[in-house]
Structure 1
Amino acid sequence: MRLLKKSILYTLILIVIGILITLGLEAFIEQDTSNRIYAEVNTVPQAKTAIVLGASVYSDGQLSPILQDRVDSAIDLFENDKVEEILISGDHGSDNYNEVDAIANYLTKHGIPKNKLILDHAGFDTYDSMYRASKVFKITDAIVITQAFHLPRAMFIAKHLNLDYHGFQAKEREFKIETKIMKREKLANYKAVFEVIFKTKPRVLNEQL
């Protein structure tokens, strides 16, 4: 019985330590990147390129609400002369799933010229998108667009890849899966730290899939 109590106690201690480390890491990343993040169009610095980070699209090619908010924010920046072009970085890992073309179609339907779009079909995750933007597409001056819960991690990766990028918070709305997203984001911070420490390479380094 005494051994069981000790086991439970040690387990609880480990859980508490894990929670504290997770929250501490989240706070560190937010603090480390706070001076690179903007929420208003009129305050964000001008840059040559907006980078839209991909998210889910539906089987009919429609953008998920999270992704539509990011793309609408890119349109706002373009129409307000904050950027000259838009890099779309998303998952096109199979013939049946293509975030990049879905975003491009949405942008052109909303008045963005095709010749102002750059397509990255191998932005499989945030690290890959940041790395490839710099190494493959040679983008040195950019505004990264995603939601507030995701932006600190994206900026943390960019900063520690020595990229002079700024972040812009996408238009916000409440999402049904917000709690699930937030939990996943906390765990993804560990992955980001590992990636920037060991300078891992993305799954695809060339321009085409």
Structure 2
Amino acid sequence: MIKFIIRLLIFLLLLGIVFTIFSNVLIISKTKHKIYHDLSEVPAKEIALVLGTSKNNIKGEANSFFDNRIKAATELYNRGTVNKLLLSGDNRTIYYNEPNDMKKALLNNGIPESAILIDTAGFRTIESISRCANVFNHNDVVIITQEFHAFRALYISQYYDMDAIAFSAEEVPVYSSTKVNIREFFARPKAIFDLYFPGKYSRTTIQ
């Protein structure tokens, strides 16, 4: 009995490893052609979906992910590539509100308030994407985030039949951050699990 349990655990472990690797290969291969790095090459879209992140890192310093997303959103709007900016993120407490922080930064950059939409229920990437399509009824979008995150965001958008592309909001690709890459490596199989197993993220569910 003990040998059977050990073999079963080993089998499940190997199955999990295979599924994780498969998920990463699938998501990257299906989406890499839709990621843009040059602002001048981004085609015009209805709206930009700016995915939320903290304005400060764990050390309390300015978060380059946040700053680069704001910079990209500002430039895409000023170029006329998009007419609206949908800011989606976490607002778990009165002291932590990603969409509000993004809005303040964009207003400081001269973006008119009339061009800004707020989604305070984008607690996860999958929620930001699904709500963009199902609640705000926007499918023709530029997703603004970093490249490592854009693969997963675009894959989720494909599930919701969105006509989405992504702009990589980074001056230097984030390949050196072990923590970021490990987290994203495991977030991709979880996204597939969330999308394809019956639950609240089905295509017909309004978030």
Q: TM-score, normalised by structure 2?
A: 0.84
1:149 is paired with a residue whose SS is: helix
Distance change (3 Å), C-alpha of 1:74 and 1:175: same
Tell me the alpha carbon deviations over residues 17-38 of structure 1, each in whole angstroms, 9 at most, x when there is no partner: 6444423321111111123221
Dislocated runs of 4+, deviation >6 Å: 9-14, 174-177
Report how far residue 195 of structure 1 moved: 1.9
For 1:14 and 1:201, how far apart are their aligned partners in 2?
Answer: 26
Number of residue pairs aligned between Structure 1 and Structure 2: 199
Please give the alpha-carbon distance, in whole angstroms, between the structure 1 residues aligned to 2:159 and 2:34.
13
Question: What do residues 161-190 of structure 1 show as CA deviations (whole Å, max 9, x unaligned)?
Answer: 111111111123477982111111111112
Unaligned regions of 5+ residues in structure 1, if any? Answer: none
- 1:127 corresponds in structure 2 to 126
The aligned residue for residue 200 of structure 1 is: 200
**Sequence identity of aligned pairs in percent?**
31
2:168 counterpart of 1:169: yes
Unaligned runs of 5+ in 2: none
How many Å separate the matches in 1 of 2:38 and 2:178? 25
CA RMSD of aligned residues (A): 2.9
Report the 3-state secondary structure (helix = DSSP H, G, I; strand = E; otherwise coil) of the residue aligned with 1:166: strand
* 3-state secondary structure, aligned to 1:124: coil
Q: TM-score, normalization: structure 1?
A: 0.83
Q: Is the 8 A contact 1:145 1:167 kept in 2?
A: yes
Q: 1:123 to 1:78 in 2, by over 3 A?
A: same
Distance of aligned partners of 1:175 and 1:37 in 2 relative to their CA distance in 1, 3 Å threshold: closer
Shift of 1:57: 2.8
Residues 1:88 and 2:87 aligned together: yes
Q: 1:147·1:172 contact (CA, 8 Å) conserved in 2?
A: no
Q: Which stretch shows the higher mean deviation, 18-27 or 150-159?
A: 18-27
